[in-house]
Amino acid sequence: MDLEALRALPKAELHQHLDGAIRPETAVELAAEAGISLDLDGARARMIAPPHCRDQAELLTYFDLPIALLQTTPALSRVSAELVEAMASDGVRYGEIRWAPRLHLERGLAVTAVIEAVAAGVEEAARRLGDTAPLIALIVTAMRSHPPGANVELARTAAAFGEPVVGFDLAGPEATYPAPPHAAAFRAAEEGGLALTAHAGEVPGPERIREAIDLGVRRIAHGVTSAQDPATIALVRERDVTLDLCPTSNVQAGIVPDLAAHPLARLHRAGVSVTISTDDRTVSNTTLSEEMARSALAQEMTADELAAIALNGFRRGFWRGLALSRLTDLAQRAWGAWAVTEPAIS
């Protein structure tokens, strides 16, 4: 399969984290500004996770440096703009960027200022990119480990911000922190008009996926462990919940041993709505085009299957309004034409 052809196709990416996508070169400069000693090798070693971590908890340690560096308005805006540029050069035409504003308050910023800084970076990238700028929506992430009351406040602030913030998410160590204590935050987000998603299914057992579905989410970030349990697959399908899967990241977190064992294609064939994303361009050292190419090859997908999964990204996006419908039409034509010329993936 031609990676360049995939790169040129219009793509949607629904699951990626701002803090997992800092360019190592940028990290070195931000560290210098923050008085942290860091060279390029050090930045790479602390931000790019190995192919196989022990578990999700170990993978999460690769976000410690990024979080430390993203504590000022200029740093947040710069990294946001650079991520949008990276997505544009990868052919992403619609992207949702998520991050946890409450992790960026260490040096005095308020939650609203953090959201403003990221939105300003996205706008700056749009100015620089002009016609090639992707449509970008933001998802505000609440941390499982944070106090439920603080997350309710976060949901209200995120909802009050308005566009480009369109969604509300939950993330963090699943093994230790269940989702139900954060149900009130999800109600507040929903009442404020935000679309709901949550991270779940990166640790063994389908319970965390059921908890996320009980929060009323339309999409689950990962949800990989649903594949182990027919009843959970049935529930995900019945509620029409989309799983935003990130194959390389899931291998790194130790949920599956390798890409061939990832349930992406199997879930798609079982009628579950799935999408492909990078999760973290830097931490997982990948691009969306590469994720699509590698997954399609490892799982022996047909071109039609890959096209259908790619189009789910547009159809299941949280952005409301014509801009996304227009992009969906464009993507449908482009992927349809590609699938005709690419009958077998090899």
18 binds Zn ion (CB under 5 A): no
C-alpha 137/C-alpha 169 separation (Å) is: 13
Dihedral angle sign, alpha carbons of residues 301, 306, 308, 313: positive
For 88, residues 6+ apart whose C-beta sits below 8 A from its C-beta are 125, 129, 132, 133, 134
C-alpha 90/C-alpha 297 separation (Å) is: 19
Q: Least separation, in Å, of the C-beta of 237 and Zn ion?
A: 22
Cα–Cα–Cα angle for 68, 71, 74, nearest 5°?
125
> Closer CB to Zn ion, residue 63 or residue 335?
63
For 252, residues 6+ apart whose C-beta sits below 8 A from its C-beta are 49, 50, 51, 52, 53, 59, 283, 284
DSSP state of 101: G
**Catalytic residue chosen out of the listed positions 85, 96, 174, 202:** 202
Asked if 202 is an active-site residue, the reply is yes
Binders in 278-317 for Zn ion, by CB under 5 A = 279
Nearest residue to 120 via CA among 142, 136, 134: 136
> Closer CB to Zn ion, residue 125 or residue 221?
221
> Closer CB to Zn ion, residue 206 or residue 223?
223
Tell me which stretch binds Zn ion (CB under 5 A): 64-72, 273-281, 288-296, 316-324: 273-281
Q: Count the site residues for Zn ion by CB under 5 A.
A: 2
> Closer CB to Zn ion, residue 221 or residue 327?
221
Which two tokens mark 239? 């509620």
> Closer CB to Zn ion, residue 136 or residue 221?
221
For 285, residues 6+ apart whose C-beta sits below 8 A from its C-beta are 48, 248
Residue 314, number of CB atoms within 10 A of its CB? 24
Site string for Zn ion, 192-221 (x = CB under 5 A): -----------------------------x
> Closer CB to Zn ion, residue 79 or residue 221?
221
First to last CA, the chain: 6
Tell me which stretch binds Zn ion (CB under 5 A): 58-66, 153-161, 276-284, 324-332: 276-284
Q: Least separation, in Å, of the C-beta of 141 and Zn ion?
A: 8
Tell me which stretch binds Zn ion (CB under 5 A): 4-12, 39-47, 184-192, 277-285: 277-285
Residue 198 near residue 221 (C-beta atoms within 8 A):
yes
> Closer CB to Zn ion, residue 252 or residue 299?
252
Phi, psi values for residue 211, rounded to 5°: -60, -40
Q: Least separation, in Å, of the C-beta of 204 and Zn ion?
A: 18
Q: Least separation, in Å, of the C-beta of 15 and Zn ion?
A: 6
Residue 68, number of CB atoms within 10 A of its CB? 19
Q: Least separation, in Å, of the C-beta of 212 and Zn ion?
A: 13
Grouping H, G, I as helix, E, B as strand and the rest as coil, residue 16 is strand
Q: Least separation, in Å, of the C-beta of 215 and Zn ion?
A: 16
Site string for Zn ion, 230-269 (x = CB under 5 A): ----------------------------------------
Site string for Zn ion, 75-104 (x = CB under 5 A): ------------------------------
Q: Least separation, in Å, of the C-beta of 199 and Zn ion?
A: 5
Give me Rg for the CA atoms of the chain: 19
Catalytic residues, which ones? 202
Q: Where do contacts with Zn ion occur on this chain (CB under 5 A)?
A: 221, 279
